[in-house]
């Protein structure tokens, strides 16, 4: 992923409803996933987003924990997964995703994580479309190991809506 796309991804997470300076357009809710679009300059960006269903350990304040899949109307990137935490992540222990018996490594950029291998992005999205739950494990910058689960109910319909909105 280019630096520009990471910056835009960070902007997407910050500019969701309920946040200051937000102006995305809600395109629909599908199960546990919401679909939004917004413009970054003249560039239209569409994204699906879900909040974590479970957060562990329960003894810490997690804040907003979200998983996004973003597409740019210009066509690159398409269905780019990313994770957003309300705290800084430790970059010496990369987060990982497990879904349907498969593992996906991520890399950290402050309080966000992205799929480490570009070629794995499509495979992850395919697994998400076919799965029920996705588990993400990470470590905070303070050294706390955290685990989150995300429901995948509605992800296929949400991704289809985002794709049609950004054609």
Structural domains in the chain, sorted by start = 3-165 (2.60.40.1880)
Whether the CB-CB separation of 72 and 95 falls below 8 Å is answered with: no
| Structure confidence by residue, pLDDT tens digits, 75-104 | 677 899 999 999 999 988 889 999 989 999
| Regions in the chain scoring below 50 on pLDDT | 1-5, 7-8, 10-11, 13-22
Whose structure tokens read 């991704």? 159
Q: What is the mean pLDDT of the chain?
A: 87
pLDDT at position 13 is 47
pLDDT at position 75 is 66
Q: Structure pTM?
A: 0.85
């Amino acid at each position: 992923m280019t630096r520009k796309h990471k910056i835009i991804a960070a902007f997407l997470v910050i500019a969701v409803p309920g946040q200051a300076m937000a102006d995305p357009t809600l395109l629909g809710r599908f199960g546990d996933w919401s679909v939004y679009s917004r413009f970054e300059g003249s560039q239209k960006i569409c994204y699906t987003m879900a909040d974590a269903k479970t957060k562990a350990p329960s003894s810490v304040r997690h804040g907003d924990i979200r998983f996004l899949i973003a597409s740019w109307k210009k066509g690159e990137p398409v269905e780019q997964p990313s994770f957003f935490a309300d705290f800084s992540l430790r970059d010496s222990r990369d987060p990982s995703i497990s879904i349907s018996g498969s593992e996906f490594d991520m890399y950290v950029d402050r309080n966000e994580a992205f799929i480490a291998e570009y070629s794995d992005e499509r495979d992850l999205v395919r697994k998400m479309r076919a799965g029920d739950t996705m588990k993400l494990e990470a470590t905070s910058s303070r050294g706390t190991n955290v685990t989150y689960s995300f429901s995948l109910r509605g992800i296929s319909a949400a991704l289809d809506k985002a794709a049609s909105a950004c054609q």
